[in-house]
């Protein structure tokens, strides 16, 4: 990581729309006057990726600007103390005293002083004594004006939130720089994908999902011993009244609401399937869980348990109770008091897009290097879509400032360099990244990892521990399927989808929806172990809460509202850094917008 000197240089360069590549870092650091170079770039209107060729162009432009400054007739502007006559208003010339002349600040030169007027009694190497003497005499020059300098906007520190009484610095006996990194990966698909995408792989994946979640459901006491669909159909005459019910665990197929508000679906296991219905009831005797499920709906390929009985005709199963994997109140693991450090979470930077919020990113880098709270942060988790990618959707090239994929990743590495050297970055891919779209996704190709320091590249999703605290980070494309399937989930409230994932113990249940899935023989999108912190992104919102003992974090984006979001009327919640104390699980949300 770079020191504070490079952070200042990086801030000034990006402030005028330049993104420095790694190849020019040393050259920029060696320049005697970075402000002059920045001003020259602004004057020439040069923006974009700053590589060696572009830097040479800027330096040439700077030299061309400096050359006129050594001429014998520099431009000057007349101050208000110059003597003006009424004849000036008629186009005649005004007599002024050069001792009252100030240098012109020309906007085309970025507000830089072209040449300072020397005192009348002094000579410079460019101005012999005779010329200096002549400057002291009244002369006629055209009227001038003073143009205000164009100042490069300096990022200002983000305002400190007011509700941080619960996030006390006294809770941190050591700074993050004094604590060694402890990262343990529990699952990452990188290098472990074995599917060939055949029908047999799809069947194996679903059977494994059914097996895993059936075991989780059965770990909690059920009204009856679960039986197979085949066994229930064979004994349907036995289960045709409410006094003798059957319990079945299977996979949901074709869920739909009837015009009367009831919920119908088919449930299937390895051998058979049957039609089911959950009646919509408003009476006090109705099961609360059933009422919620009828209102929200079910997702295709959910694995659930049902208890009920057959209709008199035996062709429909009336569901009285539904069963998801149990989760009462998870007891979160904590880092030891002697290792009380923080982890920070962001997502969806979309670097390379015209809507990437660069000034706000610079504010965050300033915060990381100067704020007392930042000195407790040991880890920064980026949950996917670090870059905007290329060719992700039709017409995307019109919305890109960096049109080369390798340059996007190289620039992202440079944008992470100002982080303090004690911060370890964990970077996941998302649907905009250069990996396969099917989930679970492997980590970025090693060829794209060359411009990064202190960065660990993992797959999506990734199950890992930080100082013993279990974190499940998932980019969150399946949130779109939850929005499409469940009445209780909206893009404005993606945390509802996160709760549904925890309840179902699955990150992306529906096959053939908006989330492409890789049919691995073992379904690794099952949440077999409850995390202490569950993190998602993708839909550009922000939210934190505790749900059944699990810390939910929906990470904020670093992209402004896109044209697509504007068309949908969706307003993102950008530039919020979520910081979690791994010892107390206290959460701070730091705004930079």
Q: Say yes or no: 508 and 558 in one domain.
A: yes
Q: Say yes or no: 11 and 36 in one domain.
A: yes
Using DSSP, state whether 303 is helix, strand or coil. Answer: strand
Q: Cite the DSSP H helix spans in 476-562.
A: 479-485, 495-504
Tens-binned pLDDT, residue by residue, of the chain (593 aa):
444 577 788 778 877 878 787 778 888 888 888 888 888 888 888 877 788 888 888 888 887 776 654 444 444 333 333 333 333 344 444 443 434 433 433 444 444 444 444 444 444 444 444 444 444 444 444 455 555 555 555 655 545 544 466 677 778 888 999 999 999 999 999 999 999 999 999 999 999 999 999 999 999 899 999 999 999 999 999 998 888 899 999 999 999 999 999 999 999 999 999 999 999 876 545 556 788 899 999 999 999 999 999 998 878 999 999 999 998 789 999 998 888 899 999 999 999 999 999 999 999 999 999 998 999 999 999 999 999 999 999 999 999 999 999 999 999 999 999 999 999 999 999 999 999 999 999 999 999 999 999 999 999 999 999 999 999 999 999 999 999 999 999 999 999 999 999 999 999 999 999 999 999 999 999 999 999 999 999 999 999 999 999 999 999 999 999 988 988 889 999 999 999 999 999 999 999 98
Q: Say yes or no: 28 and 59 in one domain.
A: yes
Scored b (16 or more CB within 10 A) or e, 500-537 reads bbbbbbbbbbbeebbbebbbbeebbbbbeebbbbbbbb
Q: Taking the mean position of all CA atoms in its chain, how far away is CA 495?
A: 16
Q: Cite the DSSP H helix spans in 20-128.
A: 25-30, 34-44, 52-66
Q: Say yes or no: 314 and 339 in one domain.
A: no
Residue 308, token pair as written in the block: 């009920």
Within-domain flag for 273: yes
Range list of β-strands (E), 44-172: 48-50, 76-78, 94-96, 101-103, 139-141
Q: Say yes or no: 422 and 275 in one domain.
A: no
CA atoms in the 13 A half-sphere facing the CB of 45 = 2
Domain total in the chain? 3
Q: Say yes or no: 262 and 351 in one domain.
A: no
Pairing of strands 303-310, 543-547: unpaired
Answer whether 226's CB lies under 8 Å from 218's CB: yes
Question: What secondary structure does DSSP assign to 469-488, as a single string?
Answer: EEEEE---TTHHHHHHH-TT
Range list of β-strands (E), 351-444: 377-383, 424-428
SS3 of the chain: helix, strand, coil, percent, to 5: 30, 25, 45
Other beta carbons less than 10 A from residue 205's beta carbon? 21
Q: How far apart are CA 489 and CA 510, in angstroms?
A: 15
Domain limit, last residue, from 69, 89, 124: 69
Pairing of strands 263-268, 246-257: antiparallel
Closest among 553, 536, 535 to 544, alpha carbons compared: 553
Write the pLDDT tens digit of every residue in 489-533. Answer: 999 999 999 999 999 999 999 999 999 999 999 999 999 999 999
CATH number of the CATH domain containing 527: 3.60.21.50
Q: Say yes or no: 286 and 357 in one domain.
A: no
Q: Taking the mean position of all CA atoms in its chain, how far away is CA 169?
A: 26
Answer whether 348's CB lies under 8 Å from 389's CB: no
Closest among 156, 551, 170 to 373, alpha carbons compared: 170
User: Residue 239 sits in which domain range?
Assistant: 221-323
Q: Say yes or no: 461 and 491 in one domain.
A: yes
Task: Look up the pTM and report it.
Answer: 0.74
Answer whether 361's CB lies under 8 Å from 558's CB: yes
């Amino acid at each position: 990581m770079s020191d504070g000197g490079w952070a200042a240089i990086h801030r000034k360069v990006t402030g005028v729309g330049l993104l420095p590549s790694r190849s020019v870092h040393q050259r920029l650091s060696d320049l005697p006057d970075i402000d002059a170079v920045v001003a020259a770039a602004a004057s020439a209107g040069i923006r974009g990726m700053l590589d060696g060729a572009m830097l040479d162009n800027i330096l040439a432009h700077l030299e061309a600007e400096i050359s006129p400054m050594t001429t014998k007739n520099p431009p000057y502007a007349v101050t208000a103390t110059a003597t003006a006559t009424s004849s000036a208003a008629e186009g005649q010339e005004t007599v002024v005293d050069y001792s009252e002349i100030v240098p012109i600040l020309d906007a085309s030169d970025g507000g830089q002083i072209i040449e300072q007027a020397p005192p009348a009694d002094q000579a410079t190497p460019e101005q012999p004594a005779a010329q200096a003497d002549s400057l002291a005499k009244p002369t006629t020059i055209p009227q001038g004006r003073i143009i205000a300098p164009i100042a490069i906007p300096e990022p200002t520190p983000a305002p400190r939130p007011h509700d941080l009484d619960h996030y006390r610095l006294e809770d941190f006996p050591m700074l993050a720089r004094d604590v060694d990194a402890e990262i343990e990966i529990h699952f990452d698909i990188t290098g472990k994908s074995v599917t060939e995408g055949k029908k047999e792989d799809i069947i194996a994946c679903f059977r494994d999902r059914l097996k895993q979640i059936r075991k989780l459901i059965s770990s909690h006491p059920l009204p009856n011993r679960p039986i197979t669909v085949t066994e229930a159909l064979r004994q349907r005459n036995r289960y045709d009244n409410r006094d003798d019910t059957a319990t079945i665990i299977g996979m949901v197929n074709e869920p739909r609401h009837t015009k009367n508000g009831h919920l119908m679906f088919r449930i299937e296991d390895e051998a058979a399937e049957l039609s089911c219905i959950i009646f919509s009831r408003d009476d006090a005797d109705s099961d609360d869980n059933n009422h919620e499920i009828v209102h929200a709906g079910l997702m295709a390929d959910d694995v659930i348990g049902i208890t009920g009985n057959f209709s008199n005709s035996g062709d429909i199963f009336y569901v009285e109770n539904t069963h998801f994997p149990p989760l009462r109140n998870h007891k979160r693991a904590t880092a030891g008091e002697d290792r009380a450090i923080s982890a920070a979470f962001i997502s969806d930077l979309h670097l390379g897009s015209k809507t990437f919020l660069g000034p706000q990113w610079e504010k965050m880098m300033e915060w990381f290097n100067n704020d007392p709270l930042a000195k407790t942060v040991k880890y920064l988790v980026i949950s996917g879509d670090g870059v905007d990618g290329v060719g992700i959707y039709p017409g995307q090239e019109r919305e890109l400032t960096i049109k080369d994929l390798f340059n996007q990743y190289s620039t992202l590495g440079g944008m992470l360099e100002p982080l303090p050297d004690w911060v370890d970055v964990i970077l996941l891919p998302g649907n905009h990244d250069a990996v396969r779209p099917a989930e679970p996704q492997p980590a970025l190709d090693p060829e794209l990892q060359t411009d990064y320091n202190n960065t660990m590249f993992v797959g999506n999703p990734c199950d890992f521990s930080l100082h013993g605290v279990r974190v499940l980070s998932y980019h969150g494309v399946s949130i779109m399927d939850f929005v499409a399937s469940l009445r209780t989930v909206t893009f404005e409230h993606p945390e509802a989808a996160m709760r549904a994932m925890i309840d179902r113990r699955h990150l992306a249940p529906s096959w053939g929806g908006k989330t492409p899935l890789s049919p691995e023989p073992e379904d690794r999108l099952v949440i077999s172990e409850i995390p202490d912190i569950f993190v998602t992104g993708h839909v550009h919102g922000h939210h934190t809460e505790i749900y059944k003992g699990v810390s939910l974090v929906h990470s904020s984006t670093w992209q402004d509202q896109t044209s697509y979001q504007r068309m949908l009327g969706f307003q993102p919640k950008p530039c919020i850094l979520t910081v979690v104390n791994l010892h107390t699980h206290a959460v701070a949300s730091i705004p930079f917008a």
